Amino acid sequence: MDNCIFCKIIKKEIPKDFNYESENLVVFPDINPSADLHLLIVPKMHIGGIGEIGEEQTKLLGEIYAIVNKLVLENKLTDDAYRVVVNGGKAQHVPHLHFHLLGGQWKKFI
Ligand code: DGP
């Protein structure tokens, strides 16, 4: 999608270090963190949001949660607090599906 900020990051038109990259998704830190750890897990395919998820995304969603588990372990969050958030409707500001992984101390509500 031409005007999508996350598509530009994925295509490396905007430089960004990825914490993780696979064929189907990337992980990078949120520019405006709401917790000690605030990562965005973003599918490479442009999916506008939750409302565009269909059965054809079942495998992708499994991969996303498998990566969440890997990030939780890497960041030693298993015995700490963590949360996965997907905003939709007016709560969603970037119209490209993404999963927030928030870990540790909360700074603000997202
Ligand atoms: P949401 O409200 O769920 O759509 O959250 C969008 C998040 O994306 C918000 O927490 C800030 C983050 N964000 C927006 N633009 C950029 C960017 O250019 N780089 C990074 N790293 N994060 C961004």
Give the start-to-end residue ranges of the domains of the chain.
5-106
| CA 94 to ligand 1 centroid distance, Å | 6
Please state, in angstroms and rounded to a whole number, the distance separating the CA atoms of residues 23 and 44. Answer: 8
Residues 6+ apart with CB under 8 A from 89: none
CB of residue 36 inside a 6 A radius of ligand 1? no
- Residue 2 neighbours by CB distance under 10 Å: 6
- Dihedral sign, Cα of residue 97, residue 45, residue 57, residue 66: negative
Determine the pLDDT at residue 107.
Answer: 87
- The arithmetic mean of pLDDT across residues 74-90, rounded, is 96
Determine the pLDDT at residue 2.
Answer: 82
- The arithmetic mean of pLDDT across residues 17-27, rounded, is 97
- The arithmetic mean of pLDDT across residues 32-48, rounded, is 97
Average model confidence (pLDDT) for the chain? 96
Query: Is 108 in contact with 32 (CB distance < 8 Å)?
Result: no
How many residues are present in the chain?
110
| CA 73 to ligand 1 centroid distance, Å | 23
98 is catalytic: yes
Task: Answer yes or no: is pLDDT of 59 > 90.
Answer: yes
Determine the pLDDT at residue 1.
Answer: 81
Determine the pLDDT at residue 36.
Answer: 96
Indicate the pairing of strand 25-29 with strand 82-85.
Answer: unpaired
Please state, in angstroms and rounded to a whole number, the distance separating the CA atoms of residues 34 and 59. Answer: 28
CATH topology of domain 5-106: HIT family, subunit A (3.30.428)
